[in-house]
Amino acid sequence: MEKMFCLGLLLGAVSGALLVANSYKARSLVKKSQAEVMQKVDEMMDERLKAQTEKSQEGEEKQSGKAKK
């Protein structure tokens, strides 16, 4: 049963790759989708970095405030 599933998965992946390689519309759709995903990932990473930077700055301010006292 597992062998048939793996074989079907492999055949589906190969046929999908051949379809995309031979079809301009499918290829352009894949490129567009990839660009959208990369843009969303970049936005999420920017938000995380900004939040992490703000958090570290707050921690440094607290430590410097304790050191002055």
* Ranges of each domain in the chain: 2-68
What's the pTM value of the predicted model, to 2 decimals? 0.55
Q: Cβ contacts of residue 66 below 8 Å, gap of 6+?
A: none
Q: What pLDDT score was predicted for residue 17?
A: 87
Q: Tens digits of per-residue pLDDT, 16-34?
A: 888 888 888 888 888 999 9
Q: What pLDDT score was predicted for residue 10?
A: 95
Contact 59, 51 (CB under 8 A): no
Distance of alpha carbon 69 from alpha carbon 41, whole angstroms: 43
Q: What pLDDT score was predicted for residue 55?
A: 85
Q: What pLDDT score was predicted for residue 7?
A: 93
pLDDT at residue 54 above 90?
Answer: no
Q: In this structure, what DSSP letter does residue 1 have?
A: -
> Within 13 Å of residue 42, how many CA atoms lie on the same side as its CB?
6
